[in-house]
Chain A
Amino acid sequence: QQQVKQSPQSLIVQKGGISIINCAYENTAFDYFPWYQQFPGKGPALLIAIRPDVSEKKEGRFTISFNKSAKQFSLHIMDSQPGDSATYFCAAAISGYALNFGKGTSLLVTP
């Protein structure tokens, strides 16, 4: 079964707005939570990742918020740009094992 649930399935945001994508997991053994960005015709590329010992990690316009007790984590894209239009995947993994991906969110940033 899907070990990582991702929402929303699609998202439309105006340029300059904040894009928020949420993920939830059940397995408390997960200890690595990356986000990937995928453009059409390309493979996914790592955007940002977090380990459960911190509640937030920021890299440029991208921030991961992590809530261990709720078993949820989210990606915030500040000042969203049309070039951010892509599919975003959250994932979770136990050290040494494979990535379990969410089903993806298709983000469209309108000019």
Chain B
Amino acid sequence: KAGVTQTPRYLIKTRGQQVTLSCSPISGHRSVSWYQQTPGQGLQFLFEYFSETQRNKGNFPGRFSGRQFSNSRSEMNVSTLELGDSALYLCASRVRGETYNEQFFGPGTRLTVL
């Protein structure tokens, strides 16, 4: 079974631009979560989608948004990029939304903001 895939793997943008990252969950998984990973703050939760609805949201500004499609694929968007948005963005999927179901992480998208 294919794992979680994220595209693109690497991205370079400049301040003020916007970016869209894509995540394809494992087949049959309906929950998709996004995390931001930085050396200083570690792994921080952005949001979770389940059956096209946002279930949970972390403490990030409104510039960070996401959505989930009917096939469970998810996108996250960051508008008006800031230097501090440079990070590894990880997507994780699980079968359902219950916490005890194992989350499977993708390899991440490395975003660099210049």
Contacts and interface: CB of A to CB of B under 8 A. Distances in A.
Interface of A: 2, 31-32, 36, 41-46, 49, 51, 89, 91, 93-104
A101 B42 contact: yes
A102 to B, nearest CB: 7
A43 B97 contact: no
B78 interface: no
Interface residues of B, number: 24
B64 interface: no
Max chain A Cβ within 10 angstroms of own Cβ: one of B33, B100, B102: B100
Interface of B: 4, 33, 35, 41-45, 48, 56, 58, 90, 92, 97-100, 102-108
B106 A96 contact: no
A43 B41 CA distance: 16
Given A42-B107, A45-B104, A46-B103, 8 more contacts: A2-B42, A43-B105, A43-B106, A44-B43, A44-B105, A49-B102, A96-B98, A102-B42
